[in-house]
Amino acid sequence: MSGKHEAGGGRPAQPPVQQTPFWMPSARDERDAWDEPGWFRDQPEVVETSAPEIIESGPPRSRRKLAVAGGISGGCVIALVAVLFLSGVIGSNRTVAPGFHPTATTPAAAARQTAEAFLTAWQHGHIRTAADYTNHPAAAAAALTSYRSGLNIRALHLVTQSATGDGAVTFAVTATVGLSSPKTVTASWSYSSHLVAYARHGGWWVRWNPELVAPNLTAGEKIASFPVAPGADQVVDAGGNNLTNSNDPGLDNISAALQSSAPTGQGTPGIEVELVGPGDKPITSTALVLKHAVDTGVVKTTIDPTVEAAAESAVQAYPDSSMVVIQPTTGDILAVANNDGFNDFALTARVAPGSTNKIITSTALLTTGLVSSPSQSVECPAQLVINGQTFTNDQGISEPAGTPFITDFAASCNNAFAQWYSQLGASTLAQTAQKYYGLNQTWNIGIGPGGPYYAIPATAYNGELAQELFGQGELEASPLAMASVAATVDTGSFKQPVVVPGQAQLSATPLPGNVRQDLWQMMRAVTQAGGTAAGVFDGVSSAVYGKTGTADVSGQGQPNSWMVVFDPTLNVAIGCLVLDAGYGADFAAPEAASVLQTLQQ
């Protein structure tokens, strides 16, 4: 084990199928339900009307009530009823044939009337009526319903254009498409479509084909509208300084993200329509932009130029350094600084947090009552054997029975924490991380959903859990997440980090008051005599509360160095990581101290 008594030592997916953009025409299979076995074979024979037919073979379809009134004008209804009465269909003992009954005497005109009845019902939202005019009512109803809801239709206008003797009908579609939010943004979508109407068993029908609803739509797919995010002309820090092409890759990434997609409420989104498949996943290469977004002017971030300058200077002390500075009372990200080439490890690193994770472990022990207070005696054995795996402390040290838990924490003795693996159980540590610290879930800091910036298995047991209790194993974290942990202890309540003012923040359960006080006492001991960071922060005039971390990495020459601190006087919390360096107190801690000293000047 390495570290001053610290941790250390011993959504492939299938490639997308190439698909023709859905607004381009393509041929589709037009199977007819009448031609499938088992359809209505037990239904009585129907009486056919004198309307001309396009003869197609197959068993008779079941009777359906004549549902026309909701889809055509009142005058057409009266005329149609009169024709049916005079022909003896109504007012006699003869059975009414299912389907639609046009009054036209030519196939082209009959097909046109059938199409108009279907389109009128669809246009006015009478989905069941429209679906009943087709040979696949269930499939038609589902597709027409998802069309209206998926596109957030505000208005729909359908106009028949032409009809031929073989039943082919073309029609024009003009849809006013909206978004679920904001509801005020709409766009017009116009396209031409076609259907086939035919006579069968005394009635006329629309042959169902999903493509008549939207170009290239197939069974099992939907059509939906999506916002096109507006961008920003310029991204600045809290002082108005342009962040584009800054001196830090983290700031560059933030600026680029905001220029590409402005924060919610800034600019005006556009609208695109796209085919979606199972699980509502958009289908590659099918998006069509109906309305372009309108970019916003200037987006201001929470980056504080003074704090940013101090952080950028501090990380120059050692290569492969990254740092995040947060304002605990608000969650505002004040600085993102990196000294690792073009890497933004301040936000993107996913490495074991080492003993800085003992803050969360201690929270779990204190909230469950396994440890009642910092003064409770907790031995740190030299060795711990779990299922044949032996865990030792750095340099073979140990703490005897009767040692106060605060001393174990300040000295960062691993087995004082690892030994609780069986009592805590498989899920308590992960639940504590999320419940009180808002971790292990996606955050949107203002540049789109990201993370999780801290990932811990939902359940772990035996040796894996023992390692996680002192900050190693399958546990991964970023400086952003660990800075947030320190900030949460400072105020007692999680404030999700954000880089854009007003960005929505996730919440978490506040720390119990006594637990917060205990953690303050324990983290203060880390920076005092006997603690792993003793003497490092002596140049800071205010009280500093922290935790060092040293995490071994297999195959790496030196462990990763960590330091998290908070200073209530300055209202800042810092998470610092130096890769492949050494003890947390020797590398990351001096960089954090440099920032605090600069801010006090």
479 shares a domain with 530:
yes
Question: Which of 167, 186, 219 delimits the end of a domain?
Answer: 219
**pLDDT for 394:** 86
Q: What is the CATH number of the domain that holds 144?
A: 3.10.450.50
User: Are 239 and 385 in a shared domain?
Assistant: no
Q: How far apart are CA 170 and CA 159, in angstroms?
A: 9
Supply 255's token pair.
């600026």
Whether residues 287 and 336 fall in one domain: no
At 137 the pLDDT is 97
Residue length, the chain? Answer: 601
> Domain boundary residue among 219, 246, 277?
219
Q: Which two three-digit tokens encode residue 415? A: 């087995």
Tens of pLDDT along 372-426? 999 999 999 999 999 999 999 988 889 999 999 999 999 999 999 999 999 999 9
- Please compute the mean of the pLDDT values over residues 449-469 and round it to a whole number: 95
The pLDDT tens digits for 14-65 are: 344 444 444 444 434 334 444 333 333 233 333 333 333 433 333 333 332 3
pLDDT digits (tens, 9 = 90+) for 114-164: 999 999 999 999 999 999 999 999 999 999 999 999 999 999 999 999 999
Say how many CA atoms lie within 13 Å of 269 toward its Cβ. Answer: 21
The answer to whether residue 196 is domain-embedded is: yes
The verdict on 290 and 404 lying in the same domain is: no
Question: Is position 173 within any domain?
Answer: yes
Is residue 402 domain-shared with residue 516, that is, in the same domain? yes
Residue range 294-306: average pLDDT?
97
The pLDDT-based confidence of 95 (bands split at 50, 70, 90) is low
> Which pLDDT value is given to residue 36?
38
Same domain, yes or no, for 62 and 204?
yes
- Identify whether residues 479 and 564 lie together within a single domain: yes
Give the pLDDT band (50/70/90) at residue 264.
Answer: confident
pLDDT at residue 331 tops 80 = yes
Higher pLDDT, 392 or 69: 392
SS3 373: coil
Q: Which residue has the tokens 């060795």?
A: 383
DSSP string, 403-423: -BHHHHHHHT-THHHHTTHHH
Distance CA 360, CA 409 (A): 12
Residues in CB range of 592: below 8 A, 6 or more apart: 314, 323, 546, 563, 564, 565, 574, 576
Main-chain dihedrals φ then ψ at residue 474, nearest 5 degrees:
-85, 5
The answer to whether position 34 is within a domain reads no
**Is 14 inside any structural domain?**
no
Count: domains in the chain: 3
Q: Reply yes or no on whether the pLDDT at 238 is more than 80.
A: yes
Radius of gyration of the chain (CA): 34
| Residue whose structure tokens are 């032996």 | 390
Domain shared by 456 and 413, yes or no: yes
Which of 257, 283, 300 terminates a domain? The answer is: 300
Q: Is 325 inside any structural domain?
A: no
**Per-residue confidence at 323, pLDDT binned at 50, 70, 90?**
very high
Amino acid occupying residue 123: Q
Dump strand ranges (E) for 368-410.
383-386, 389-392
pLDDT on residue 395? 83
Tell me, yes or no, whether 349 and 292 share the same domain: no
Q: Specify whether 189 is located in the same domain as 280.
A: no
Measured distance CA(519)–CA(359) in Å, rounded = 7
Q: What is the pTM of this model?
A: 0.76
Same structural domain, 295 and 344:
no
* Same domain membership, residue 488 and residue 463: yes
- Let me know if residue 35 belongs to a domain: no
State both tokens at 581.
């360096």
Beta bridge partners of 242: 236
DSSP-assigned states of every residue in 156-176: EEEEEEEE-TTSEEEEEEEEE
Q: What is the sign of the dihedral through the CA atoms of 492, 494, 498 and 502? A: negative
Give the structural domain span for 543. Answer: 331-572+582-600
Q: Would residue 505 count as lying in a domain?
A: yes
What pairing do the DSSP bridges indicate for beta strands 296-300 and 232-236? parallel
- Residues 428-451 have pLDDT tens digits of 999 999 999 999 999 999 999 998
**CATH code of the domain containing 469:** 3.40.710.10
Give the model's pLDDT for residue 79.
39
